[in-house]
Amino acid sequence: MEQYKKEFIEFMIDCNVLKFGDFVTKSGRKTPFFVNTGFYRTGSQLKRLGEYYAKAISDKFGLEFDVLFGPAYKGIPLSVATSMAISEEYDTDVRYCANRKEIKDHGDTGILLGSPIQDGDRVIIIEDVTTAGTSIQETLPIVKAQGDVEVLGLVVSVDRMERGQGEKSALQEIQEKYGLETTAIVTMAEVVEHLYNKPYKGKIVIDDTLKSAIDAYYEQYGAK
């Protein structure tokens, strides 16, 4: 596993973004782990987060694209932080764009924030976590309504590796249904690999009991 992935896993723990315990997802699944990117709350945290996203994008897609699109609301700071990191780390300027939940009819009108999307633009969509793939169904029509654009792919922070609408993972379903390349900074398999029975700051984060709960969860909800 690449060093930046290990660092990102520990970064999520430090920021209380990655938690283990008893949770319920939006889809009603009881889960022993939870990822909440709303806990990235400081400038330094967002700066580092943008750098990890930038690395994942560079590794998967390269930097030959024009616009980084972040769906409202969590995607807005992600698109800003990552476009800044791409500029700083790779000396490459890409435009950021996001959507509003409500269309604005005065001042800076329309549904978009940041850069307009133009004919010929190559777009990458950036999100936090995709569990069931419902967000992309709303996001793609918004992006494609802006003109003759090419949506290259989707990047998320963590691939939960669980079933979406069918037997495959949400990211696999998105790839097949929409023809989009998808990637994540880390997968949950990598999280478990890095943390299982290994001390981090003097504590075992994933012990045998928690590992059994995670295994049971994937037995029920894991992608095939």
Supply the residues annotated as catalytic.
Answer: 104, 106
How many residues are there in the chain?
A: 224
Q: Taking a C-beta distance cutoff of 8 angstroms, is the pair 18, 187 a contact?
A: no
| Tokens standing for residue 72 | 């409202």
CB atoms closer than 10 angstroms to residue 64 = 9
Rounded to whole angstroms, the Cα distance separating 133 from 130 reads: 6
State the helix-helix crossing angle for 170-178 and 134-144, rounded to 10 degrees.
30
11: CB partners within 8 A, 6+ apart = 48, 49, 52
> 132 φ, ψ to 5°?
-115, -5
Q: At residue 37, what are phi and psi to the nearest 5 degrees? A: -75, -5
